Structure 1
Amino acid sequence: MPQGSNEVVHIPFHGDEILAIDVDGKPYVVVKPAVEAIGLDYWAQIRKLRERSWATTASKAVVAADGKVRDMVTCDVRTFLMLLATIDENRVAADVKDKLVAYQAEVADAIEAYWTQGGALNPRATRQQLDEIAESAERRIRMLGAAKGLVDDRWLEAMAREQLAIGLGREPEQDPATRFLTVAEYLEEQGVSGSEVRKLSPTFGKRLKLAYVARRGEPPGKSLRFVDGAQREVFVYTEADRDLFDAVWAEFNDDLVTT
């Protein structure tokens, strides 16, 4: 076998197989057979990948099925999955359209879970993958325990529940009322622009804290969050406090109109 060549391996994917090679310990998909299998023009997809900032491609010497070595364009799995997610379902072969649509729907579900639940779990994950997830979750839970007394208890509880669910191989079930709500997020929801958010946040935040203390008899807890590119200690509120936000905003907005 010529030096530097890579032997093809087969990766299961939605009931089929895609061809890949090992590049520094990571699988890289061989693009040509993958896209032609779903009825797409190879060079059109290569041009598309070369124009996308999220795409990572590399030309590699690959040992083909006939034993000959050829230079082929490959891409990492992340790029391949993104490519599939952006393909027009009406341009693929009829016999693979349903499978592509199902895959794209699964991608959309995973993205939604990532943003709304803090993560997504593949129902086809192997036992080894689940064990690795569990080990990672266990490490995070230990870290959360070490943070006791340093950050808000509600934040710790929500994070611990999420990591326990992940460690058990289940989708995290987050109570919507425990989702964190920051002053900046709330102001942006009200249509306040980026520069105005930074200008109004201190005053709005002070009024919100006073309203919180008046209701609960104690100040809100604190947690470290990235604000304007730096890690800062901020007061912690959740969706359960949204009515306080709304009340403060109503008064705050009235003041802005009259000044």
Structure 2
Amino acid sequence: MHVQDTAVEVRVPGSSLPLYTDGKRFVAMKPIVEHFGLDWSSQLAKLKGKSWTCMANFTMQLPGDTQRREVVGIDRRTLTMWLATLDENRVRADKRAELRAYQFEAADALDAYFHKGAAINPRATEHQINAAIFQARAQMELCQAAQGLIHPDHLEAKARVILARGMGENAELDEDRRPLYSKDFLKEKNLGEKRMKSIAGVFGKRCKAAYIERHGVEPGKYPLTLSNGQTRDVLAYTEADRDLLEQVWTDYYADPQLEVQA
């Protein structure tokens, strides 16, 4: 927990949403809940049950208060997701249009991100656009510096995505060069969580051995960012290696009754 003497209010253009922050990372959640006329306890419980929630308590003095008090804060990422999942029929009638407008824009942004490779805020300032360009340039320089360290097919795919995102276009990737991770391959098999955990490690080792037998060298590695924000190196396969992974699956795991344990 940390202490913030007074709330730092952030104004969002076109919105009356009360955003009172600690001046760093977190925004007070309860004023937003009250803004939409929602039940505080149920919304708090809802967010505590979500894997994407990032929450912390801090002490601050909100407008109208005579002294500091402990408040529950959520980070920007959590706020964005939470607002997108609110039921418009459960908020105050006079706030529904505001929520609908936000959710329509959020839906458009998600669609653009997943299907066009990038999402651009139509209200982005010149400073924000320049910052995005600078970030893309820095990422491309990192890709260039990583030559020889990362599997070349993965590196090329990453560079193409960065370049396309910066130009507001779809990335044009050679299908055979698309990254293919053994974990994602197993997810496609619709395994239960327990079985997934029991075979993932050995499956990866068997795929590596099969790759070495076919190519005479070990597969390259690629830094993969996990859902918890950590990054670790994983074996780098591509769609060109799918038949190899399929063969390992068929030989050892297609029939659970015949599964061979390492």
Instruction: Assess same fold via TM > 0.5.
Output: yes
Q: Tell me: CA distance 1:30–1:180, structure 2 relative to 1, closer, same or farther (3 Å).
A: closer
- Would you say the 8 A contact 1:29–1:74 is kept in 2? yes
* Bigger mean CA offset, 127-136 vs 104-113: 104-113
The CA deviation at 1:112 is 7.1
The CA deviation at 1:219 is 5.4
Q: What residue is the counterpart of 2:146 in the other structure?
A: 147
The CA deviation at 1:91 is 1.0
Q: What residue is the counterpart of 1:89 in the other structure?
A: 88
Q: Which has the larger radius of gyration?
A: 1
Q: What residue is the counterpart of 1:19 in the other structure?
A: 18
Alignment of 1:1-12 (within 5 A): 4-6=5-7, 8-12=9-13
- Would you say the 8 A contact 2:22–2:60 is kept in 1? no
Q: What residue is the counterpart of 2:207 in the other structure?
A: 204
Alignment of 1:217-232 (within 5 A): 222-225=220-223, 231-232=232-233
The CA deviation at 1:198 is 1.3
Alignment of 1:125-144 (within 5 A): 125-144=124-143
Q: What residue is the counterpart of 2:171 in the other structure?
A: 173
1:206 maps to a residue whose letter is A
Alignment of 1:177-188 (within 5 A): 177=175, 178-188=177-187
2:38 maps to a residue whose letter is L
- Would you say the 8 A contact 1:188–1:197 is kept in 2? no
Partner Cα separation in structure 2 for residue 147 and residue 22 of structure 1: 38
Q: Tell me: CA distance 1:140–1:92, structure 2 relative to 1, closer, same or farther (3 Å).
A: same
Per-residue deviation, residues 213-235 of structure 1 (Å, max 9, x unmatched): 4xxxx85751234699884463x
Partner Cα separation in structure 1 for residue 131 and residue 114 of structure 2: 22
Question: Which segments of 5 or more consecutive residues in structure 1 lack a partner in the other structure?
Answer: none
Q: Tell me: CA distance 1:243–1:100, structure 2 relative to 1, closer, same or farther (3 Å).
A: farther
Partner Cα separation in structure 2 for residue 91 and residue 118 of structure 1: 33
SS of 2:86 mapped into structure 1 = coil
Provide TM-score, normalisation by structure 1.
0.68
Per-residue deviation, residues 56-98 of structure 1 (Å, max 9, x unmatched): 343421345xxx8565746343443343234233311345435
1:133 maps to a residue whose letter is A
SS of 1:17 mapped into structure 2 = coil
Per-residue deviation, residues 101-124 of structure 1 (Å, max 9, x unmatched): 453465466567777888754444
Number of corresponding residues: 244
The CA deviation at 1:145 is 0.9
Q: Percent identity?
A: 31
1:61 maps to a residue whose letter is Q
Q: Tell me: CA distance 1:44–1:248, structure 2 relative to 1, closer, same or farther (3 Å).
A: closer
Q: What residue is the counterpart of 1:194 in the other structure?
A: 197
Partner Cα separation in structure 1 for residue 67 and residue 170 of structure 2: 45
Q: What residue is the counterpart of 1:62 in the other structure?
A: 62
SS of 1:56 mapped into structure 2 = strand
Provide TM-score, normalisation by structure 2.
0.68
SS of 2:156 mapped into structure 1 = helix
Partner Cα separation in structure 1 for residue 48 and residue 199 of structure 2: 38
- Would you say the 8 A contact 2:208–2:218 is kept in 1? no
Q: Tell me: CA distance 1:57–1:11, structure 2 relative to 1, closer, same or farther (3 Å).
A: farther
- Would you say the 8 A contact 2:7–2:61 is kept in 1? yes
1:56 maps to a residue whose letter is A
Question: Which segments of 5 or more consecutive residues in structure 2 lack a partner in the other structure?
Answer: none
Partner Cα separation in structure 2 for residue 130 and residue 161 of structure 1: 19
SS of 2:134 mapped into structure 1 = helix
Partner Cα separation in structure 2 for residue 253 and residue 27 of structure 1: 46
- Would you say the 8 A contact 2:117–2:165 is kept in 1? no
Q: Tell me: CA distance 1:113–1:227, structure 2 relative to 1, closer, same or farther (3 Å).
A: same
